Amino acid sequence: LTQDELKKIAAYKAVEYVESGMVLGLGTGSTAKHAVARIGELLRQGKLSNIVGIPTSKMTHEQALSCGIPLSDLDSHPVLDLAIDGADEVDPFLNLVKGRGGSLLREKMVEGACKKFVVIVDDSKLVEHIGGSGLAMPVEIVPFCWKFTAQRLQSLFADSGCVAKLRNFPASDQPFLTDNGNYIVDLYFKKDMGDLKAASDAILRLAGVVEHGMFLDMATTVIVAGELGVTVKNK
């Protein structure tokens, strides 16, 4: 099975949790894309009805429109029944790293407003400690004096050998812009950052920071698709 087939298997399994009449958070990324398409397909087949989707990015907004999913927003629906989204990393406590696709702020707003948050991953995303893989831990910051904020983020985690890098658009020297007009600084750790809650609080205390990609204690279910089958982990 290819990685994309595994993503699709996890996504389809998650959509089994969707019931007619639900208000759904629609995730962003190559895994969530399959869930959005599947919801649209079931609506077209009449197997689902009265669904309202709250997209977590402009990209998902466009995809959901093309799939015929009726859309709304958090102002109209401050509490959602269920969100389905991918993740970059999942630890054994269902803590996540998200945001390598750049949508972490709207994802965290939408997924934080849901009664249930179902995460869908292929098994390559499972880690022992989030942020320890040496891959990016995204932090959304305001563009104003971004170097100042990036330097303060790097200094916060100096003893974890942290390096802060401004994210650019692919193959470009232009800073990446999120849907909210902000920048993203990616943090790279040489050692894992220890207490996650303390790290989260320290990051959010910096005035130039908008949000970070650690989703702690938010997922209620994680669906993992691997060569040997699908595993469902509940909080």
Tell whether residue 182 is a contact of ligand DER (CB under 6 A). Answer: no
* Catalytic site includes residue 41: no
Among 31, 149, 178, 220, binds ligand DER (CB under 6 A): 31
Answer yes or no: are the C-beta atoms of 102 and 186 closer than 8 Å: no
Catalytic residue, candidates 89, 107, 140, 211: 107
- 215: which 2 tokens? 């989703």
Q: Which of 85, 91, 111, 186 binds ligand DER (CB under 6 A)?
A: 85
Determine how many CB atoms are found less than 10 A away from the CB of residue 39.
25
- Which of 53, 55, 101, 208: binder of ligand DER (CB under 6 A)? 101
- Can residue 154 be called a binding residue for ligand DER (CB under 6 A)? no
Q: Does residue number 88 form part of the binding site for ligand DER (CB under 6 A)?
A: yes
The number of residues that bind ligand DER (CB under 6 A) is: 17
Q: x/- binding map, residues 43-82, to ligand DER, per CB under 6 A?
A: ----------------------------------------
- CA atoms lying within 13 Å on the CB side of residue 112: 11
CB of residue 88 vs ligand DER: minimum separation in angstroms?
Answer: 4
Site string for ligand DER, 102-141 (x = CB under 6 A): -xx--x----------------------------------
What b/e sequence results for 103-123 when a residue is b if at least 16 CB atoms lie within 10 Å of its CB, and e otherwise? bbbbbbebbebbebbbbbbbb
Q: From the CB of 27, what's the least distance to ligand DER, in Å?
A: 6
Question: What's the burial of 179, exposed, middle or buried (CB within 10 Å: 0-12/13-18/19+)?
Answer: middle
Write the burial class of residue 29 (CB in 10 Å: 0-12 exposed, 13-18 middle, 19+ buried). buried
In angstroms, give the least distance from the CB of 19 to ligand DER. 23
Q: The sheet that has 114-122: what strands, in order across it?
A: 52-55, 23-26, 80-85, 114-122, 221-226, 229-234
By CB under 6 A, tell whether 27 contacts ligand DER: yes
- Structure tokens of 47? 């197997």
* Pure H helices in 25-137: 32-44, 58-66, 104-111
Please name the residue that has the structure tokens 């927003």: 73
Nearest approach, Cβ of residue 16 and ligand DER (Å): 18
Site residues for ligand DER per CB under 6 A: 27-32, 85-88, 98-101, 103-104, 107
Catalytically annotated residues: 107
